[in-house]
Structure 1
Amino acid sequence: MKLWIAIVALALSGTAARAEVTDATPGGFQVRHEVEIAAPAARVWGVLVQPASWWDGRHTWSGSAANLSLAAASGGCFCEKLPGGGSVLHLSTVNAAPNQKLVLFGALGPLQSSGASGHLGFLLTEAEGKTRLTVTYDVGGYMKGGLDRIAAPVDGVIGQQVARLKRQVESGKPD
């Protein structure tokens, strides 16, 4: 529930950075973010696969990013430990090419309570010691009222996480 409240609050606050919903219909949407990170792809990858170091804890079910883990190999899990021994499988790894590409499948936040799911992709392209990171989240399926109504809030959250990842890689601090 905390995650849903945070997504709605972010959407209403207008603080989403570089938000781009590239397509939105009642049956699905795509969001896309591109950033240049002043680091080689290997460094970006090393941080990317450690979401506890950069993901915002306000966008977790437990309230703490320290409870997140990511197994960056096919069949791996972007998971979260919950207090009392519970857990959440946010996304599953379907394609992992270290320093190049990571594709995860599943539903984040309130999408887990719907008939929707998607692919969250991270594409890393290195040139001259810098990395162009392209992040897309393609979501489809069913959500009461239509998925188009949640596209902008989801885009805001993804944009925030991309910005935090960039800051973590470049400065060692996500905030």
Structure 2
Amino acid sequence: MLKSLFIAGALALLASPAAAEVVERSADSFTLRYARSMETSAGDIVMALESIGDWWDSAHTYSGDASNLSIRLEPGACLCERLADGSFFEHGRVILLDDDHLSLNAPLGPLKGRTSKAELTFSWPDAGATDVTVVMTFRVEGTGVGAWADGVDAVMQGQYARLIHHVEYGETPDA
């Protein structure tokens, strides 16, 4: 556990400068937002999102292996995880994909069954510019979920740092 926290902290530092914060919080909702400007293209971002199993932290999967995650970038597609018994677990669904963002209905981990809304959005609004700002926003609503904001923020900061590392270097963040 300590090793995982150390790696997550180190990856967060590697991704700096990035804006990461709980931007809104109430008893029954929270919004997390992470942003970083970098030299990349929309195509590189889309390829990284599509290869989620290459950068997602295996510690935050049910199978213990992020390579079991898959997603097709088309509306209605499943962000799914293949389990050891051959079944699949649905972490989320693609609800929107266009030229500069991807949105999923994604009540991740312990949020499953406790939320009325869990929208995870990745955007790159200035694609085509020399520097592209890669933004990840997670909007969660549900009775009492506001108390979970800091814990979810810690996990999602690590996931965002891993995504940025993958976009920049095209490799698994902890390889």
The two structures have a TM-score, normalised by structure 2, of: 0.83
Distance 1:51 1:168 in 2: 10
> 2:115–2:145: 8 Å Cα contact kept in structure 1?
no
Distance 1:69 1:28 in 2: 28
1:137 maps to which residue? Answer: 138
Deviation digits for residues 99-126 of structure 1, max 9, x if unmatched? x110001300100142443110111122
Gaps of 5+ in 1: 1-5
> 2:23–2:32: 8 Å Cα contact kept in structure 1?
yes
Give the share of equivalent positions with the same residue, in percent. 32
1:103 maps to which residue? Answer: 103
Gaps of 5+ in 2: 13-18
Amino acid at match of 1:166: I
Please provide the CA RMSD for this pair.
Answer: 2.2
2:157 maps to which residue? Answer: 159
> 1:31–1:137: 8 Å Cα contact kept in structure 2?
yes
The two structures have a TM-score, normalised by structure 1, of: 0.83
Amino acid at match of 2:118: G
2:114 maps to which residue? Answer: 114
Amino acid at match of 1:151: A
Q: Which moved more, 1:122-131 or 1:35-44?
A: 122-131
> 1:111–1:117: 8 Å Cα contact kept in structure 2?
no
> 2:117–2:142: 8 Å Cα contact kept in structure 1?
yes
1:38 maps to which residue? Answer: 39
Return closer, same or farther for 1:83/1:117 CA change in 2, 3 Å cut-off: farther
> 1:41–1:130: 8 Å Cα contact kept in structure 2?
no
> 2:123–2:135: 8 Å Cα contact kept in structure 1?
yes
> 2:103–2:120: 8 Å Cα contact kept in structure 1?
yes
Deviation digits for residues 6-28 of structure 1, max 9, x if unmatched? 7xx85xxx949454011111211
> 2:94–2:104: 8 Å Cα contact kept in structure 1?
yes
2:166 maps to which residue? Answer: 168
The answer as to 2:94 corresponding to 1:93 is yes
Number of equivalent positions: 162
